[in-house]
Chain A
């Protein structure tokens, strides 16, 4: 993908490691419901030897702001105000040898990120380190060299290192979000980076286009479009734009990929009834998965691909069911309310996030596989729909009308830190978080 055109000449763990192994990941337990935000200090990066150059100073500010923004996005950290820092500008603190940890524990920082940026011709040389201030130890140290345009990519890499060190998980920094926007006059699919930046239009069908679905390797995007007048299914290779389609009579909607396979499920109605079918990645039917009278839509596979959540009207109202793929056994999951749709499985496979309607409003709920006690994550703020979990399970993207037009929002999987990703023209719906899109 063009997206990952990053020329890192070398990435090296800095040799100043002090024997701290980061195998424990006990800093942030992302499974704890009472997650405490770790106070972290991200002072302005130093500009290396040419500190007087104003371009370099700008670059340092840009780099450190970018990194702290990315860390803030995760919801794991409390980013401390730089104005409170006690560092002496004449005595740059960047390495284990030069950092005065008391300066940082005094202002409440438990973690500290330092960095130096040097521009060398068209290249950047960047060193960054993460410290535990209470243990006075270095946790991560990396040195990057890359093209000057790739500052953001470097910051994503280091943010990923930080989160990996603290949680044991690579985080969301190398993911994207696909969504539907009416900005062009028609509903079309757009893609943005994990934090809502770099929005670009993906389909230009000039026709209603809906329901983006990422393959688990991130190489394919399936969707429904009225390109030829009928709601047909399209399966598009993101890298080379090759497309296959499923254009049977009736509706061809709500695709969802089977994890680890070039296969997807979708609702087709050519037989006269709306059922979910399993298909190859190029659109050939493998088998019919559901077989009940009424609408069966919105399949969503468990991470191991053995189970499928879906929405069915078989009980009279739309409710979420779980089907065992091998045995075909079906269990109803939701019983609260009369309208529960849009299921999405958590990365660990133990929970399902969905959209439930109560008193005419849609809100987002999480439910365990036992179907008991769904937890409501959004409250009294317009309609909140289409929840989609980030691949690491830490965040949920969704659409909301809380500010009027439908827009894309993100929250932690506990419902905290709800914020809008961006404001672009038109209305945005149907967000889907990509898997990690690793540069290959």
Chain B
């Protein structure tokens, strides 16, 4: 939870700064940086959409626009911030999307493999930062809880093995099984069960 908060906070700081950077880019900054900023501002905008912090973002922008001097000074830190934001985004994507499984199965279907491949690219990108993750294996509660605790471990392991095969160092991937003990959705219907049969990623 703390990590999520930090990520959101980082975005709140970084997004307005980037928006500001992008909107002024055409006049003051070189074209190639401007381009990079443009693509970033797209991402930034969508991130701020999801946080519904548009209004506060534009407030900050309009105030800062009057001071071109301070803008120039902040060009250095912004690159760092951009990196941080990219990483935060990647980390969030790593955590947000669960790998799902069929009933009584630890096999990775096509969709599960796609998600894991995406996660592998993030992990690869930040291998220097040595991001390590814990993969939690979970089950729906239709089985019995002894067997499910074993099944949850196999789900976490098959996600891990897939990533290791893609070249991620196994030392960066811990696994733990919670069986059916930590459902995300306590409902007793297919919709809930699908969500609960998952490998969930946590950044350490």
- Give A residues with C-beta under 8 Å from B: 187, 208, 210-211, 224, 229-231, 250-251, 253-254, 267, 269, 274, 295, 297-298, 311, 313, 317-318, 338-339, 341-342, 355, 357, 360, 362, 385-386, 429-430
Contact = CB atoms under 8 A, between A and B. Distances in A.
Contact of A341 (B143, B154, B181): B143
Contact of B149 (A187, A231, A338): A231
B145 interface: yes
Contact of B104 (A210, A230, A231, A318): A318
Size category of the B interface is: 10 to 19
B177 A385 contact: no
B183 to A, nearest CB: 12
Contacts of A362: 144
B147 interface: yes
Contact of A253 (B143, B144, B149): B149
Given A317-B104, A339-B104, A251 B146 contact: no
Interface string B174-200: 011110010000000000000000000
Contacts of B181: 187, 208, 210
Interface string B131-148: 000000000001111110
Contacts, number: 67
B84 interface: no
Nearest to B181: A208
Contacts of B144: 339, 341-342, 355, 362, 385-386
Contacts of B145: 210, 429-430
Contacts of B146: 211, 253-254, 297-298, 311, 341-342
Nearest to A406: B141
Given A295-B154, A318-B147, 20 more contacts: A208-B178, A208-B181, A210-B181, A211-B146, A250-B153, A250-B175, A251-B149, A251-B177, A267-B150, A274-B153, A274-B154, A295-B150, A318-B104, A341-B143, A341-B144, A342-B144, A357-B142, A357-B143, A360-B142, A429-B145
A253 B150 contact: yes
B94 interface: no
Contacts of A430: 145
A4 B177 CA distance: 39
Contacts of A274: 150, 153-154
Nearest to A186: B181
Given A317-B104, A318-B104, A339-B104, A295 B151 contact: yes
Contacts of B178: 208
Contacts of A224: 149
A361 to B, nearest CB: 9
Contacts of A341: 143-144, 146-147
A289 B199 CA distance: 29
Contacts of A360: 142
Contacts of B147: 295, 297-298, 311, 313, 318, 341
7 contacts: A230-B176, A231-B176, A251-B177, A297-B149, A318-B147, A341-B147, A342-B144
Nearest to A318: B147
Contacts of B143: 318, 339, 341, 357
Interface in B124-171: 142-147, 149-151, 153-154
A357 B104 CA distance: 12
A339 B147 CA distance: 10
A297 B104 contact: no
Give 3 nearest A-B pairs by CB, closest first: A295-B150, A341-B144, A298-B146
A251 B150 contact: yes
Interface string B82-123: 000000000000000000000010000000000000000000
A251 B153 contact: yes
Contacts of B104: 317-318, 338-339
Contacts of B149: 210, 224, 231, 251, 253-254, 297
A311 B145 CA distance: 12
A430 B145 CA distance: 9
A278 to B, nearest CB: 18
Contacts of B151: 295
